[in-house]
């Protein structure tokens, strides 16, 4: 990863830029799955703002630009990971991996595992999650054209890896 990338907590002032980034990042997913109405593409700035207040939302900064973002919500000792997004022009630089690792570190004291899902045609996402230690738990058909691949990773307690 580039040395000039910083991972920070997002705040509500970031909602508009995160939504713009998210839409740019998820266009390729929409094209891949033939679905222009994926939830990340139709979310409002107010919904993003509420998520930032109620969840753990991290952003990857390159200078003053938000280059990536990810969300995590803790529920019953499980961290639900959602909306991992990296600016299309900055992909393949380790930003997504850095966001995921930072989210896992933040969740480690609060959750025993992280869970997520991605579309079955999203090979680059599936590769990333497998490299990060996520294993497939099951698949769920949600439409004729879309099957979700659910994945899980057990987290070590904070400090256990030392």
What pTM did the predictor assign?
0.91
Domain limits of the chain?
5-154
CA 137, 139, 40, 55 dihedral sign is negative
| Distance in angstroms (rounded) separating the CA atoms of residues 65 and 44 | 20
Distance separating the N- and C-terminal Cα atoms of the chain: 22
pLDDT value for 141 = 93
Average pLDDT, the chain: 92
Question: Tens of pLDDT along 114-134?
Answer: 999 999 999 999 999 999 999
Kindly state which CATH superfamily the domain 5-154 is placed in: Gcn5-related N-acetyltransferase (GNAT) (3.40.630.30)
Ranges of beta strands (E only) in 3-161 are: 5-9, 56-62, 65-75, 78-86, 113-119, 135-143, 146-154
Backbone angles phi, psi at 159, to 5 degrees: 85, -10
């Amino acid at each position: 990863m580039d040395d000039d990338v910083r991972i920070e907590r997002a705040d509500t002032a970031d909602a508009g830029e995160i939504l713009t980034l998210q839409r740019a990042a998820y266009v390729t997913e929409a094209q891949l799955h033939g679905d222009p109405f994926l939830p990340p593409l139709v979310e409002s700035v107010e919904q993003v703002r509420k998520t930032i207040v109620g969840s753990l939302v991290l952003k990857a900064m390159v200078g003053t630009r938000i280059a990536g973002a990810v969300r995590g919500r803790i529920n019953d000792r499980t961290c639900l990971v959602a909306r991992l997004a990296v600016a299309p022009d900055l992909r393949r630089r380790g930003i997504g991996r850095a966001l995921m690792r930072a989210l896992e570190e933040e969740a480690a004291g609060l959750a025993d595992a992280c869970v997520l899902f991605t579309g079955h045609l999203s090979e680059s996402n599936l590769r990333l999650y497998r490299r990060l230690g996520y294993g497939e738990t099951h698949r769920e058909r949600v439409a004729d054209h879309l099957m979700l691949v659910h994945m899980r990773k057990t987290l070590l307690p904070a400090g256990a890896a030392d």
